[in-house]
């Protein structure tokens, strides 16, 4: 049976991780938006029941095509709407209900940050209200110290786009950061992520 592990609890939401998922699957149990699944694993009816026990699954956010499995099965079983950035939507097998752009908002405190480069339409999701959290998807990866940073890969869609997107986070305020790579023993995600991630990215750009 799939297990969820609580990673962080804020006044208005809880953030959980699907144990063993790759890419990492997170569930945001939000007081206003209800349940937000970040990345979609292979469909599992028992997992859906577990998610619904936290909050009604209402949205499935896909940071990139890499975390998009069984979209239609998730949609039909839960009634959830699937979200992906415009440039990525065409590469995802299944229905995208809400095609995002750089002005999209899910609620007053949840918006989206285009960070294409790993794939053409990679996108991050930001929880703006304090303490603040960003789900970076594949745009960042844990570095040697465990904090998310910029790590270029041979199959990146565009190094230039990756740089442009990452530079945009330097002005963001957040205390927690989550990526597609998560190891409970080594990955660091917060609090304190904002300063640590920005410092890690600066070091990566200086190398």
pLDDT at 207: 73
Per the structure, the count of domains in the chain is 1
Beta bridge partners of residue 149, listed in sequence order: 141
The secondary structure of residue 193, as a DSSP letter, is H
Segments forming the whole domain that contains residue 93: 4-206
pLDDT at 139: 96
Cα–Cα nearest to 149, from 164, 160, 138, 133: 138
pLDDT at 89: 93
**Mean pLDDT in each 10-residue stretch from start to end of the chain (207 residues)?**
89 96 98 97 97 97 97 97 95 96 93 94 95 97 96 92 88 96 97 95 85
Helix (H, G, I), strand (E, B) or coil at 45: helix
Positive or negative: CA dihedral 77, 79, 80, 85:
positive
**CATH code, domain with 111:** 3.60.15.10
Under 8 Å between Cβ of 19 and 5 = yes
Residue 26 corresponds to which tokens in the numbers above?
Answer: 């997170």
Query: Is the omega angle on the peptide bond into residue 131 within 30 degrees of 0, that is, cis?
Result: yes
């Amino acid at each position: 049976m799939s297990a969820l592990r609580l990673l962080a609890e804020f006044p208005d939401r809880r953030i959980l991780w699907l144990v063993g998922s790759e890419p990492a699957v997170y569930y945001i149990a939000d007081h206003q938006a209800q349940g937000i699944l970040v990345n979609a694993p292979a469909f599992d009816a028992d997992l859906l029941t577990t998610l619904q026990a936290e909050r009604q699954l209402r949205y499935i956010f896909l940071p990139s095509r890499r975390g998009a499995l069984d979209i239609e099965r998730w949609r039909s079983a839960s009634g959830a709407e699937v979200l992906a950035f415009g440039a990525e939507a065409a590469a995802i097998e299944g229905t995208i209900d809400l095609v995002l752009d750089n002005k999209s908002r899910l609620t007053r405190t949840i918006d989206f940050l285009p960070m294409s480069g790993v794939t053409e339409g990679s996108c991050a999701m930001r929880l703006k209200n304090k303490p603040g959290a960003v789900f970076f998807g594949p745009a960042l990866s844990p570095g040697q110290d465990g904090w998310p940073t910029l790590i270029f890969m041979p199959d990146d869609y565009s190094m230039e786009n990756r740089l442009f997107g990452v530079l945009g986070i330097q002005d963001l305020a957040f205390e927690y950061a989550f990526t597609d790579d998560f190891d409970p023993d080594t990955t660091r995600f917060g609090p304190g992520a904002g300063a640590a991630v920005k410092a890690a990215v600066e070091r990566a750009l200086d190398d």
